[in-house]
Structure 1
Amino acid sequence: MATIKVTQTGSPIRREKDQRATLIGLGLNKMHKTRELEDTPEVRGMIRKVSHMLSVEK
């Protein structure tokens, strides 16, 4: 299956609790941490929710 490379570029400080939980769900909890995730609709939805704090590559 295809993968997406996601890097956290924004801080979760002073963000809503659900946005912080979404970052943890994606496996991102520190600045500049990168994960390769499967390209599924569920992951895309989570990325869309916190897109202002992420950098995404295919």
Structure 2
Amino acid sequence: MAKIKITWVKSTIGYKFDQAATIKALGFKKLNQSVIQDDSSAIRGMILKVRHLVVLEEVI
């Protein structure tokens, strides 16, 4: 399965609670942290919800 690298670049302060919960569910602990996740439809949906807070890269 393909992997994607997600980097959290913008704070969740001032955004809805469910967006902060999505950031935590993606595995982030700190701002500017990067995580590598499987490229699945569930992860893509989570990224879509917080697309204004993260940067996405494909890992080859």
User: How high is the TM-score relative to the length of structure 1?
Assistant: 0.96
Give the AA of the match of 2:40. Answer: T
Flag structure 1 segments of 5+ consecutive residues without an equivalent: none
Equivalent pairs: percent with the same residue?
Answer: 40
Flag structure 2 segments of 5+ consecutive residues without an equivalent: none
1: CA distance, partners of 2:16 / 2:28 = 16
1: CA distance, partners of 2:26 / 2:53 = 12
Give the AA of the match of 1:41. Answer: S
- The number of residues matched between the two structures is 58
Residues 12-47 of structure 1: CA distance to partner in whole angstroms, max 9, x if unpaired?
111100000000000113110000000000000000
| Structure 1 vs Structure 2 CA RMSD | 0.6
Greater per-residue helix proportion: 1
Deviating above 6 A after TM superposition, structure 1's stretches of 4 or more consecutive aligned residues are none
Q: Does residue 27 of structure 2 align to residue 27 of structure 1?
A: yes
User: How high is the TM-score relative to the length of structure 2?
Assistant: 0.93
